[in-house]
Structure formats: structure tokens, C-alpha cells
Amino acid sequence: MASKEKKGEITINDIAKELNISPSTVSRALNDNAKISDATKAKVRAVANDLGYELNLIASSLSKNKTNVIGVIIPHIGSQFFARALSGIQEVARGNGYNVIICQTNESVQQEVEMTRVMNSARVDGLVCCLTIETKDVNHFNVFVKKGIPIAMFDRVSYAVPGPKVVVDNYEAGYVATEHLINIGCKRIAHLAGAQSSKVFEERADGYKDALKKHNLDLLPQFLLASDLTEQDARDAMRLWMNQPEKPDGILAASASTGLIMATTAKNMGVHLPDELSIISLGNERCNEFVTPSLSAVDMPGYEMGKAAVGQLIDCLKEDKEDNSITLKPIQLLIRNSSFKH
């Protein structure tokens, strides 16, 4: 049986032949040139649709020096915080006529470097980025800076990279969460923090420490641990603390996923929440509400941060704009069963 001949890619020449007009007229019609009548544009688009023609955005961008595409680089697509941020980014971007390309780094700085190469190759007009927990050197963003392509960063940011920054008040988040534990009677409060080289986690830890100080509670060195917030880190911290003679009666987790792992580990160890131990996380996941016991959290404004970041970026694309930093407040303290005492 003879193999089926593979058809070549549909070009503007095929559309021109079908309509018996010149390729240049087809090109102008597809690019919405004002010199082409609306009737001709409609015919060209209809035939292009029927033939399965796709406009080559990269080729088109070479002549316009603009792709109307914004790149987004984030650590995790699956987390509620980043899902909300993406929702805000896409809403504002599309409302302003931009498409969005999304890349995920999985908290790997090597992948972040690779993703910047991908975005540069895709000729994005601008970039929205949240750095990985590993990122210290930000030289991989220099290619955009040199080309004058604006970069807006949110949540985990670097002030070494020019461009707008949108952050949350992480100090207040740490302070409010710790004070909640104090207000329900916790006296020995432990904190599993993120890497202190990250400003986000440093500020959250500062809020925790200052809340203890204000309420005249001791900060025990063994109760403040910095980590990469992996699943193993959370389990190890819980086992370390709960096997000590002086156990914590409250725990502040620096991330939503860490809080969930610590709560599960505590239950598996036979620790009763919240009677023996209360837990609250900085950041909220949808499943926090449905685990047993439900997990208290400080909800972070992901949707608002995404909207603000891409809004600032689009302002930069429209006109030369000075760097602008926006600090948003955590939305609310969500008190659930893991820290609710009657």
C-alpha cells in the first residue's frame, strides 16, 4: 500500500490562488491593513480558515518588532497561589490584547535559566517572573535588560533586575500568624522557615520573632529552623521537635504545602491537633479546608499580585516608566480547626 503523501504547510500563495488575488493582498488582509476593504479581509480570513492556514507569529513579529506576547515564568503551576496569579495575569493581558506563554521552573534555578532562553527565543514583548527559591544570581535576565524588554517580578523578586516589583507584606503575614497562635494560648511556638537568603522568608521569620518579643515569649534556637521547605524538611523538623522533652505547642509553617505535610506527620505520630499542637501556614491551598483537621492559614493575594504585576509590565510597554514597587497586604487570616480552641 502506497504511503499517503504528506501535504506541505499552507501558505498565503495557496489562499491567493483560491481567491484569484495577489499574495501581497492576502498578506495585508491577514495583517488587518487599513488599505484592504472589510469585505476582502472577511473573504481572505474565511478561506484561510477553511484551508487551515496559521499566521506565523514569529515571522510577522520580525517586520513589526512586536509579538503581542508576554512571557510568564513561575515556580509551580499547580499551587493555588500561582494558579490565582496566572488567572490575574491572563485576565489583564488578554484585556490589553496580549497573549501569554507560561513556563514552570519547579523551583529549579537551572530550569529558570533555560526558561529565560525559551522566552528570549520566542521574542516576548515583556516578562512576568517569580524567582525560584534557589535563585541568587540573576544574570540570566540581562539579555532582556540589554534589549530593553521590561521585566515585572512578583512575590520572590530581585532588586538587582530593573523593572516593577509586586510583593506582599511578608513581615505582617509572619507577625499576624504568630500572634494568632499566641492569642489561643500557645507559649512554645516553632517556625519552619524558608531559606533566609530569600527576602520573602527572611521577612516572614522577622514577623514571627517580633511577635514573640512583643508578647514576652522566648525564642528558643531549636524552634527556628531554616530549610528548602521540601517534604523531607517538613517531616524531619516535626520529628525533631516532637521528640524533644520541651515540645512546641504551636507551629508556624512558611508555606502552604509545608503546613499540610507537618499536620499529616503530627497526626501520624499520634499528636492531637489542636489540643496538643496548633498549626498555621503562610499561604493557603484549596485542600486546607478539606483535610482533617482543616488547616489554618494566612491567605496570600495571588490573583491581585498577578494582575498588578502584568498591569505594571503593560504600562512599561506603553511608555518609558520608572521602576515601581507595590506592596500588597495579606488578604485574611483563615482560622480553621488546626488552631481553633473552644
Give the C-alpha separation, 270 to 249, whole Å.
14
In this structure, the answer to whether residues 178 and 295 fall within a common structural domain is yes
In this structure, the answer to whether residues 127 and 269 fall within a common structural domain is no
CATH code, 154: 3.40.50.2300
In this structure, the answer to whether residues 227 and 162 fall within a common structural domain is no
Give this prediction's pTM.
0.80
In this structure, the answer to whether residues 319 and 289 fall within a common structural domain is no
Task: With respect to residue 187, please indicate whether it lies within any of the assigned structural domains.
Answer: yes
Domains identified in the chain, total number: 3
CATH code, 36: 1.10.260.40
Structural element, H or E, at residue 109? helix 109-121
User: Which residues constitute the domain of residue 48?
Assistant: 12-55
Q: Where are the beta strands (DSSP E) in 15-98?
A: 69-74
Q: Parallel, antiparallel, or unpaired for β 189-193 and 224-226? A: parallel
Task: With respect to residue 1, please indicate whether it lies within any of the assigned structural domains.
Answer: no
Give the C-alpha separation, 215 to 180, whole Å.
12
Per-residue pLDDT tens digits of the chain, which is 342 residues long: 344 344 567 888 889 999 999 988 988 888 778 888 989 988 988 888 888 776 665 555 555 578 899 999 999 998 999 999 999 999 999 999 999 999 999 999 999 999 999 999 989 999 999 999 889 999 999 999 999 999 999 999 999 999 999 999 999 999 999 999 999 999 999 999 998 888 999 999 999 999 999 999 999 999 999 999 999 999 999 999 999 999 999 999 999 999 999 999 999 999 999 999 999 999 999 899 999 999 999 999 999 999 999 999 999 998 766 667 899 987 689 999 999 976
Task: With respect to residue 61, please indicate whether it lies within any of the assigned structural domains.
Answer: no
Q: Parallel, antiparallel, or unpaired for β 332-334 and 296-299? A: antiparallel
Residue 223: count other Cβ atoms within 10 Å of its Cβ: 24
In this structure, the answer to whether residues 86 and 174 fall within a common structural domain is no
In this structure, the answer to whether residues 290 and 175 fall within a common structural domain is yes
Q: What type of residue is 152? A: A
Q: What type of residue is 45? A: R
